[in-house]
Amino acid sequence: MKLVPKMAEKLVVKNLVKKYGDFTAVKGISFDVKEGEVVALLGPSGCGKTTTLKCIAGLEEVTDGEIYLDGRLINDLEPWQRNIAMVFQSYALYPNMKAYDIIAFPLRVRGLSENEIKRRVKEVAEMLKIQHVLDHKPGELSGGERQRVALARALIRDADVYLLDEPLTNLDAKLRISMRSELREIIERTKATMIYATPDANEAMVIADRIAVMKDGEIVQIGDGLQLFNEPRNVFVATYTSYPPMNIIENCSIKSFKESIIVENESRSISIKILRKRERIRRLIGRKVIVGFRPQLLKLEKSDKREGSNIGKIILIEESYPEAILHCILHDNKVVTAVMPLSELEFSVGDYVHLEIDEDNLYLFDQASGERIVV
């Protein structure tokens, strides 16, 4: 992920609210996008990503709040007055027009000369590697080619801000992965200021400089990929922003035991001894918490035991080079995952293992709210 120097705010969204009757789709969100920065709106379907983009583009009327572009309030401007380009998930290509004319359309609307249009279409087509499809209609193109044509139509505009609404969702898995890196290269080359909506955390990590995690119409945390991974604000961020997600064990108790603190769940399938951080955690004794620990830092050892605390049985191994993801079922039927290099894999399905959960790989969340408890 690239480092973005401090630059002026290009776009500022303040307390944005969008209602449809009694339903509030966007609940007072605020964020900014700096010049040349890519900010991802990451969240599941229905969380308000697309609605937010449409409000910024002027395609939806804002119920409340303010949107500023280069310091100017744009709430009441028509879409064509905002110089904001949007790429839709469906691509929205004119079916009876050739790719060349689709890409050229925004420039023709502005009255540019045909020579200038031809030069710029050629330039953007070469950048997106679609020179060979310019004479074809959308129905004759593959999904990846249609996506590139839609992106070319947006990029040719020299817009102030580009809004991309899940542009890779309709592509097959292999093409989607390759397009991530290509799109990041295009962004670097054009130095575009962009908001990128996606439900895919890995996609957001690759493409964006900062990520705004959305849930139920709200932004629950904003940060770069490392911040979201290392310092999740709540259980949702901890589990949504990585694969495999953080292991989560609910209804855990914190107890004093001799010189240490024990954190364990009701069935005692998980029990973690706290030594180094015991003084910081002591204040939580008696409190119900959710325990989280990252699969990447979970260590496994073969075990002769078949049950007991921290004993699991491997029920599935995902071999995804260069890593292996091991799924282990505990005696209370809770499943946890561990990640290790595929080259170091020495386990088989059916093996019993002991889970070594280091206290430094331990996150605590409030049982009622799901918010992280910092210790």
pLDDT reported for residue 7: 58
Phi and psi dihedrals of 76, rounded to 5? -95, 5
| Stretch 231-253: mean pLDDT | 96
CA angle (323, 324, 327) in 5-degree steps: 145
Asked if 232 and 224 count as a contact pair (C-beta separation under 8 A), the reply is no
Domains and CATH numbers, the chain: 9-240 (3.40.50.300), 247-373 (2.40.50.140)
Distance CA 209, CA 5 (A): 11
Using alpha carbons, select from 10, 44, 16 the residue that is nearest to residue 29: 16
pLDDT reported for residue 2: 40
Asked if 209 and 39 count as a contact pair (C-beta separation under 8 A), the reply is yes
Q: pLDDT tens digit string along 166-196?
A: 888 777 777 788 788 888 888 888 888 999 9
Tokens of 52: 């937010």
Q: pLDDT tens digit string along 330-363?
A: 999 999 999 999 999 999 999 999 999 999 889 9
- The DSSP bridge pattern shows strands 271-274 and 288-293 to be unpaired
Distance CA 259, CA 237 (A): 33
> How many Cβ atoms sit within 10 Å of the Cβ of residue 43?
26
What pLDDT band is residue 164 in, cutting at 50, 70 and 90? very high
Question: pTM (2 decimals)?
Answer: 0.88
Using alpha carbons, select from 194, 229, 189, 190 the residue that is nearest to residue 209: 194
What is the Rg, in whole angstroms, of the alpha carbon atoms belonging to the chain?
Answer: 25
CA distances for 117 relative to 92, 97, 231, angstroms: 21, 16, 48
> How many Cβ atoms sit within 10 Å of the Cβ of residue 14?
15
Query: Angle at which helices 143-155 and 99-109 pack, to 10 degrees?
Result: 20
Using alpha carbons, select from 262, 296, 288 the residue that is nearest to residue 364: 288
Asked if 33 and 9 count as a contact pair (C-beta separation under 8 A), the reply is yes
Distance CA 264, CA 115 (A): 72
Distance CA 245, CA 236 (A): 10
Asked if 147 and 170 count as a contact pair (C-beta separation under 8 A), the reply is yes
Beta strands in 287-369 (DSSP E): 288-293, 299-302, 311-320, 323-330, 335-341, 352-356, 363-366
Which H or E element spans position 40? strand 38-42
Asked if 211 and 222 count as a contact pair (C-beta separation under 8 A), the reply is yes
| Stretch 301-315: mean pLDDT | 95
Asked if 247 and 293 count as a contact pair (C-beta separation under 8 A), the reply is yes
Give the residue, 312 or 190, on which the prediction is more confident.
312
Among 8-22, 161-175, 246-260, 272-286, the minimum mean pLDDT is found in 161-175
Three-class SS of residue 84? strand
Asked if 173 and 181 count as a contact pair (C-beta separation under 8 A), the reply is no
Residues 6+ apart with CB under 8 A from 152: 103, 121, 124, 125, 128, 130
> How many Cβ atoms sit within 10 Å of the Cβ of residue 199?
18
% of the chain residues with pLDDT over 70:
98
